[in-house]
């Protein structure tokens, strides 16, 4: 069996299905061993030249009855065991998806998406395969082998003893091979991860690849990855085939032994000189030999299954370890007795806040101290890499935040329930991620069953309704993967509309108007002043003019706050802000034709 803390509970949950399946398996195993006996009786019936028709009729009826039992028994175990294995796979996948949503961004910074997808697909399928076919093979091989051995020993223990020696060799060889197969499978899966991730990245970035005429180079890179994947697969397949070939050779050798030694015993018995071995007289008829050979042929399946079980279990064991490592990953957990934020007003504070990204020695933010009053319109500006996005992202508890550093309405968010913190915030991220869905569903993503009139109102807020009116399908236009069918400005405004529709106490827009023209930007900023009156709004901007009308502006510089004041005061105290204003004025002059 395949054991582990994330899979054991499913054995208990679906024990009744496994029990029904095992009972069906045992019934099939028991009755199918009657077939060699019936075959032996038929051979002996024809041995004397005359046939007892009543006895023959009895054998035929018995064979028909066994066939019916085998049919219904196999239907029973297939339905029960496969049902349980697929339910277990579905349960694990659901558990993994919930885990994936709870993991911090730092995890996905270290783990490729292709690797995660491989866990959700090939690894889970490998586990399901073993829980289904592996369970069937394991119980079938165990019970059938035990029953066959008992019947073979009862028929002739001497011939059974001769046959048993090669069977022991198979068991020993299987135990040795399993460890090597597990290591080979893990190596194969890692190469598959790389192949999956490269393919996903290539399809996602196909426009960039075509724009730079890099198709040929990407094909060569793909060929190298495929070659490594092929090498790992061949290495695993070579070991598996070697094991299967050895088992096949042993089975062929045992069959030859039965025919040779058994034929010798039958010949001596027919000639009236039965063989004597270890003081035991071997009185074997032709029917007994046929029955014994039938028993062994019945046991060929368990012997072949043994090889498949070893291979299957080694793969499933390696895949379960990968899945278990994923499920064991540390997630952002709420503290005991976490505070649940209610009736949030929107005040935000940072107290000596210092933040390090995972595996980074230098801090991304250093000693940030500032207070944002509820209802303020706050801008955040600074050079590229100054820490603007990191500052606003810290509000969402995406990464672990130290105690007594970041506060919402005076409550330390490190001590707060994560869901309640995020419920108080609305966010338009810098990358403006959109789902492969309709515009209406993307805008209304934050609200279940969002009515169309609210979607249209949000589109008006983001100055997007005019663009949507020009689309053939309007609000039912499908955005394509990551919003590929929309322009940069349209994606930004869709993200703004989605964030606005949540109507949260705190709205965060991270560089969300950089791809729109000045007129549209002005309209959006006017809508913020009008629609967000009395609610906290934080806008990260790359242009000083974007936030020039806000109450106060945070000027970031090299991970710290250079200044935090009104636009008028910043012109006196902040060199960075003054420089940004001066450069933008010069840029406007150049656009207007001046020098």
Interval 108-165: pLDDT, tens: 777 777 778 888 888 898 888 888 888 888 887 778 778 877 877 777 776 777 667 6
How confident is the model over 451-465, as a mean pLDDT? 90
Q: What does the DSSP 8-state code read for residue 414? A: G
CA 457 to mean position of chain CA atoms: 37
Task: Indicate the SS3 state at residue 409.
Answer: coil
At residue 234, does pLDDT exceed 60? yes
- Report the candidate in 192, 181, 190 with the shortest Cα–Cα distance to residue 240: 181
How long a stretch of residues is the chain? 595
Q: How far apart are CA 410 and CA 424, in angstroms?
A: 14
In the prediction, which pLDDT does 139 show? 83
284-288, 304-308, 548-552: the lowest-pLDDT one:
304-308
CA 204 to mean position of chain CA atoms: 19
In the prediction, which pLDDT does 595 show? 38
109-113, 142-146, 172-176, 325-329: the lowest-pLDDT one:
172-176
- Quick check: 472 and 481 in contact, CB under 8 A? no
| Percent of the chain surpassing pLDDT 70 | 90
pTM of full prediction above 0.75: no
300-304, 326-330, 376-380, 501-505: the lowest-pLDDT one:
300-304
Any residues with CB less than 8 A from the CB of 195 and at least 6 apart, and which? 114, 225, 226, 229
In the prediction, which pLDDT does 252 show? 81
**Segment of 37-51, 192-206, 247-261, 407-421 carrying the highest mean pLDDT:** 407-421
Phi, psi for 202 (deg, rounded to 5): -65, -45
In the prediction, which pLDDT does 483 show? 62
Task: Indicate the SS3 state at residue 42.
Answer: helix
Query: What is the CA angle 58-64-68, rounded to 5?
Result: 140
- Pick one of 3.20.20.70, 3.30.390.30, 3.40.50.1820, 3.40.50.300 as the CATH number of 432-503: 3.40.50.300
Domain boundaries in the chain? 8-327, 432-503
Beta strands 425-428 and 411-412, pairing class:
unpaired
Structure tokens that stand for 178 in this block: 């399993």
pLDDT band at 48 (very low <50, low <70, confident <90, very high): low
Structure tokens that stand for 483 in this block: 């919003």
In the prediction, which pLDDT does 348 show? 93
Q: How far apart are CA 397 and CA 416, in angstroms?
A: 10
* Phi and psi based region of residue 319 (left: phi greater than 0; alpha: psi -120 to 50; beta: remaining): alpha
Q: What does the DSSP 8-state code read for residue 302? A: H
In the prediction, which pLDDT does 57 show? 79
Structure tokens that stand for 522 in this block: 């002005």
Bridge partner list, 576: none
Q: How far apart are CA 520 and CA 464, in angstroms?
A: 9
Structure tokens that stand for 487 in this block: 């322009």
- Quick check: 295 and 152 in contact, CB under 8 A? yes
Structure tokens that stand for 330 in this block: 């540390």
At residue 278, does pLDDT exceed 70? no
Q: How far apart are CA 197 and CA 113, in angstroms?
A: 6
At residue 491, does pLDDT exceed 80? yes
Structure tokens that stand for 540 in this block: 């990260």
Q: How far apart are CA 214 and CA 513, in angstroms?
A: 31
At residue 441, does pLDDT exceed 70? yes
- Quick check: 542 and 582 in contact, CB under 8 A? no
Structure tokens that stand for 14 in this block: 């679906």
Q: What is the CA radius of gyration of the chain?
A: 36
What is the strand order of the sheet 365-372 is part of?
A: 365-372, 348-355, 406-408, 411-412
Domain 8-327 has CATH 1.20.1560.10: yes
In the prediction, which pLDDT does 250 show? 77
What is the sign of the dihedral through the CA atoms of 392, 393, 397 and 403? negative
Q: How far apart are CA 208 and CA 227, in angstroms?
A: 25
| Percent of the chain surpassing pLDDT 90 | 16
In the prediction, which pLDDT does 347 show? 93
At residue 358, does pLDDT exceed 80? no
What is the sign of the dihedral through the CA atoms of 139, 141, 144 and 148? negative
- Report the candidate in 478, 471, 441, 481 with the shortest Cα–Cα distance to residue 458: 441
In the prediction, which pLDDT does 304 show? 66
What is the sign of the dihedral through the CA atoms of 406, 408, 411 and 416? negative
What is the sign of the dihedral through the CA atoms of 484, 490, 492 and 495? negative
pLDDT band at 352 (very low <50, low <70, confident <90, very high): very high
- For residue 493, what is the enclosing H or E element? helix 488-501
Rounded to the nearest integer, the mean pLDDT of the chain is 82
What is the sign of the dihedral through the CA atoms of 585, 590, 592 and 595? positive
**Segment of 261-270, 285-294, 375-384 carrying the highest mean pLDDT:** 375-384
In the prediction, which pLDDT does 196 show? 78
Rounded to a whole number, what is the largest CA-CA distance in the chain?
123
Bridge partner list, 553: 379, 565
* Phi and psi based region of residue 477 (left: phi greater than 0; alpha: psi -120 to 50; beta: remaining): beta
Task: Indicate the SS3 state at residue 534.
Answer: coil
C-alpha distances out from residue 48 to 52, 145, 286, Å: 10, 33, 12
Task: Indicate the SS3 state at residue 137.
Answer: helix
In the prediction, which pLDDT does 594 show? 45
In the prediction, which pLDDT does 44 show? 67
Beta strands 536-540 and 377-382, pairing class:
parallel
Q: What does the DSSP 8-state code read for residue 375? A: T
């Amino acid at each position: 069996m395949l054991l582990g803390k994330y899979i054991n509970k499913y054995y208990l949950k679906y024990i009744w299905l496994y029990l029904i399946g095992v009972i069906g398996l045992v019934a099939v195993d028991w009755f199918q061993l009657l077939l060699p006996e019936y075959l032996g009786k038929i051979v002996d019936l024809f041995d004397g030249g005359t046939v007892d028709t009543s006895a023959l009729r009895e054998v035929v009826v018995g064979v028909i009855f066994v066939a019916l039992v085998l049919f219904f028994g196999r239907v029973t175990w297939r339905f029960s065991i496969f049902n349980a294995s697929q339910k277990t796979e579905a349960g694990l996948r659901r558990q993994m998806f919930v885990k994936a949503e709870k993991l911090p961004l730092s995890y996905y910074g270290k783990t490729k998406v292709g690797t995660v997808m491989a866990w959700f697909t090939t690894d889970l399928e490998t586990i399901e395969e073993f829980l289904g076919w592996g369970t069937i093979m394991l119980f079938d091989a165990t019970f059938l082998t035990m029953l066959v051995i008992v019947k073979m020993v009862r028929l002739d223990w001497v011939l059974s003893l001769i046959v048993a020696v090669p069977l022991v060799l198979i068991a020993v060889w299987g135990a040795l091979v399993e460890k090597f197969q597990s290591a080979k499978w893990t190596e194969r899966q890692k190469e598959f991860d790389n192949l999956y991730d490269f393919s996903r990245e290539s399809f996602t970035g196909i426009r960039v690849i075509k724009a730079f005429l890099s198709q040929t180079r990407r094909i060569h890179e793909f060929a190298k990855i495929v070659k490594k994947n092929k090498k790992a697969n061949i290495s695993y397949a070579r070991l598996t085939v070697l094991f299967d070939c050895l088992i096949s050779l042993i089975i062929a050798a045992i069959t030859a032994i039965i025919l040779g030694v058994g034929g010798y015993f039958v010949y001596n018995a027919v000639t009236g000189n039965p063989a004597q071995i270890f003081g035991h007289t071997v009185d074997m008829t032709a029917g007994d030999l046929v029955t014994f050979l039938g028993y062994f042929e019945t046991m060929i399946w368990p012997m072949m299954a043994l090889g498949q079980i070893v291979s299957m279990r080694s793969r499933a064991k390696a895949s379960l370890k990968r899945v278990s490592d994923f499920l064991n990953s540390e997630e952002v957990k709420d503290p005991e007795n976490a505070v649940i934020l209610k009736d949030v007003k929107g005040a935000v504070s940072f107290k000596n806040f210092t933040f390090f990204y995972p595996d980074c020695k230098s801090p991304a933010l250093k000693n940030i101290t500032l207070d944002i009053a509820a209802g303020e319109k706050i801008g955040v500006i600074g050079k590229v890499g100054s820490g603007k996005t990191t500052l606003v992202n810290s509000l969402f508890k995406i990464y672990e935040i130290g105690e007594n550093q970041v506060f919402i309405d005076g409550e330390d968010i490190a001590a707060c329930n994560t869901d309640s913190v995020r419920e108080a915030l609305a966010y338009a991220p810098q990358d403006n991620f959109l789902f492969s869905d309709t515009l209406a569903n993307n805008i209304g993503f934050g609200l279940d069953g969002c009515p169309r009139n609210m979607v249209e109102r949000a589109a008006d807020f983001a100055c997007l309704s005019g663009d949507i009116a020009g689309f053939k399908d309007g609000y039912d236009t499908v955005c394509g993967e990551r919003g590929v069918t929309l322009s940069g400005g349209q994606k930004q405004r869709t993200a703004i509309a989605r964030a606005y529709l949540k109507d949260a106490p705190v709205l965060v827009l991270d560089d969300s108007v950089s791809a729109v023209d000045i007129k549209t930007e002005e309209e959006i900023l006017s809508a913020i002043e009008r629609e967000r009156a009395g609610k906290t709004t934080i806008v990260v901007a790359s242009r000083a003019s974007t936030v020039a009308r806000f109450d106060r502006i945070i000027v970031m510089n090299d991970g710290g706050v250079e200044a935090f004041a009104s636009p008028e005061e910043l012109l006196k105290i902040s060199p960075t802000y003054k420089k940004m204003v001066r450069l933008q004025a010069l840029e406007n002059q150049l656009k207007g034709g001046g020098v």
